[in-house]
Structure 1
Amino acid sequence: MFKKFCLALASTLLAWGLGLEISQAQTIKIGILSNPSAINLKNKAYASYQFDRALAHKVFPNDQIKFYPRTQAQSLLTDLKKQKLDLVMGLEAQSDLQNSPSYLNPGNVLFTRHDSKYKSLAKLTIKQKKVALLASGNQGPLLKQLGLKTKRYPSVAAIETALAQKQVAAAVITDYQYQSYLSQKPTLIAAKDVNNRIETDQIWVRIAEPQITAQQLVFTSYHQLQLQKQIKTKLAQLKKQGQLTELSEKYYHQDWSYR
């Protein structure tokens, strides 16, 4: 009788322990910027989508995570404030929301064509010229804060066409995307014939603008202080262990975790 009682007690305690362990796990809904069509095609060019997923699993290793990709930052922030999402990744700090320490500081490139009349942020802003972004780009909120109008395109090749056709006056993509595209299109770096106006006009020219080229990405939340504490602690550990650097180099081929 005593043995049966002990076995029953042990079973109860074990079940209670397992229940407690399960209850401690949580399902976290995270919104990320990406292009849904690229995800469906498993297009590995969309490094931000892969990076965000990998980092989220390292920050919440014991939790179930559901990802909700969106092409527009505003859509993510709207769902966050409606509490349809617990967190948003891939945006800069929002003044009216809770923000984690930055986990990534991607280099952006603001550029235009050699024949453009708008080779400064001031001219782009004053003349209210449109700036091109990729559909999956996360620079939209940053450009909006600077008073710039934006138009999104599905690829860097589409941005090149838009610049040539004067649909936009300039463009912003990441440094990695910029360098990768130019490696395939050397004619955008230098003209084969310097006396050929068409060849010299199409050359891409960088516009120096620290407010755009230096970006800091964070986890953003709305009334989730406990999650933010957990994120802050885990990010510090990952940075100290060099895992942020490893992820950055794996998906972006350079270290953007240095700050």
Structure 2
Amino acid sequence: MFKKIGYGLVVVLIILFGINHFKTTPVKSKLTIGIVAHNKPYSYYKNKQLTGFEVELAKKIATQMKAQPHFKVVDEQATLNKMVKNHEVDIAFGAFNQTNLKSKKLMSLPYLYPQNTLFVTNKSKVKDVSDLTSKTVGCLKKDNKKQLLQGINPNIKIKVYPDKKQLFKAVLQHKISAGIVSDYQYTSFLAKNIKVSPHYATTLKSQNTKAAQKLTTLRKVGDINVTNDQIVALINPTKKKEIDKALTELHNSNQIIDLSQKYFKQDLTKQ
């Protein structure tokens, strides 16, 4: 008899423990995230693992929302636009520039303010965007600079290049009048190709004037209209309040700054 009572108590305790466990451990909701596959350093594959600034940011947003992140990886920004409008994802990352988007209901708060660089060769007479009327400017396929330039000067001709190497080569060979990339992309290219940097030309000039005169290097065009982007995510309007709250908390706790330093080697969170 005592054995039966003992077994009964054990069963009751197990049931009570199970009920209490499920009460205190709610199932996490899912945050569906759309993201561009190859957009380094925002998102890219390393050792077959998806990583990058926006990948880590997305995971941190999910943590703030107490949700489980689920990624849907695509090749083009345009695909992400459709996925958000069709409610296939809750949030989409593709280094979207706020100035190119029409509906504020579909965008998060800005979380990065990267500088752009409009560049020409040292032999160019271009001083600002107005000097590029009816001339060709190159930009990268996965960037949003095409819309930015056309918004500033609709008479600029745009040529799109698949990668940085081809874009910079076209400018240096005078096939196009100028190029536009992010400041990070510009400085990283010069770091790997020191002979086209203004610093190299200055050094060479002090040693060999004739060689310096023949050298073709790059220089920035100072124009306030093209120097700043505001990077946002595309979002499902029903999630806007939660996502913006998460971004604010991450910004206030310096977590976005830490990610910026990690992937861009500088703080790009200030306007």
Flag whether TM exceeds 0.5 (same fold).
yes
Q: Which moved more, 1:185-194 or 1:174-183?
A: 185-194
Partner-residue secondary structure (3-state), 1:11: helix
Residues in 1 aligned to 2:35 and 2:146: alpha-carbon distance in whole angstroms: 16
Q: Percent identity?
A: 22
Structure 2 counterpart of 1:215 = 229
Q: Cα–Cα, structure 1 residues 198 and 75, in superposed 2: closer, same or farther, change >3 Å?
A: farther
Alpha-carbon distance in structure 1 between the residues aligned to 2:270 and 2:171: 33
Change (3 A) 1:213 1:233: same
What amino acid maps onto 1:74 in structure 2? Answer: A
Match of 1:232 in 2: 244
Alignment RMSD (CA, Å): 3.2
Q: Select 1:60's aligned residue among 48, 62, 67.
A: 62
Correspondence list, 1:1-259, <5 A: 3=9, 4=11, 7-8=14-15, 11-12=18-19, 14-15=21-22, 18=25, 21-22=26-27, 24-32=28-36, 34-35=38-39, 39=44, 50-61=52-63, 62-71=67-76, 73-89=77-93, 90-93=95-98, 94-96=101-103, 97-124=105-132, 126-127=133-134, 129-146=135-152, 147=154, 148-188=156-196, 189=198, 190-191=200-201, 192=204, 193-196=208-211, 199-200=214-215, 202-221=216-235, 224-259=236-271
Distance 1:141 1:75 in 2: 17
Query: Post-superposition shift, 1:34?
Result: 3.0
- SS at 1:88's partner residue? strand
- What letter corresponds to residue 87 of structure 1 in structure 2? I
Contact 2:38 2:45 in 1 (8 A): no
* Residues 187 and 199, structure 1, Cα contact 8 Å, conserved in 2: no
What amino acid does structure 2 have at the position aligned with 1:253?
K
Describe the SS at the equivalent of 1:230.
helix
SS at match of 1:234: helix
Normalised to the residue count of structure 2, the TM-score between the two structures is 0.75
Asked whether the 8 Å contact 1:33–1:136 carries over to 2, the reply is no
Q: Is the 8 A contact 2:122 2:217 kept in 1?
A: yes
Q: Which runs of 5+ in 1 are unaligned?
A: none
One-letter code aligned to 2:187:
Q
- The letter for the 2-side match of 1:217 is I
**Aligned equivalents of 1:43 and 1:183: distance in 2?**
27
8 Å contact kept, 1:102–1:218:
yes
Q: Kindly state the Cα deviation for residue 135 of structure 1 after the two structures are TM-superposed.
A: 3.9
**1:12: how far off?**
4.8
Deviation at 1:173, TM superposition (A): 1.7
Contact 1:35 1:135 in 2 (8 A): no
> Any idea what SS the aligned residue of 1:106 has?
coil
Structure 2: gaps (5+ residues):
none
What secondary structure, in the 3-state scheme, does the structure 2 residue paired with 1:60 have?
A: helix
**Deviation string, structure 1 residues 197-239 (Cα, Å, up to 9, x no partner):** 8734x22121112222111111222xx2342111211122112
Amino acid of the residue matched to residue 239 of structure 1?
Answer: H
Q: Which has the larger radius of gyration?
A: 2
| Secondary structure of the structure 2 residue equivalent to 1:85 | coil
Distance 1:169 1:85, change over 3 A: farther
- Could you tell me whether the CA contact under 8 Å between 1:33 and 1:137 is conserved in 2? no
Q: Per the alignment, do residues 35 and 83 of structure 1 end up closer, same or farther by CA in structure 2, a change over 3 Å counting?
A: same
Give, in angstroms, the shift of residue 15 of structure 1.
Answer: 4.5
Query: Are the aligned partners of 1:59 and 1:235 in contact in 2 as well (CA < 8 Å)?
Result: yes
For residues 183 and 48 of structure 2, what CA distance do their matches in structure 1 show? 19
Aligned residues: 246
Cα distance change, pair 158–68 in 1 and its aligned pair in 2 (3 A):
same
Residues 11 and 185 (structure 1 numbering): CA distance in 2 closer, same or farther, change over 3 Å?
closer
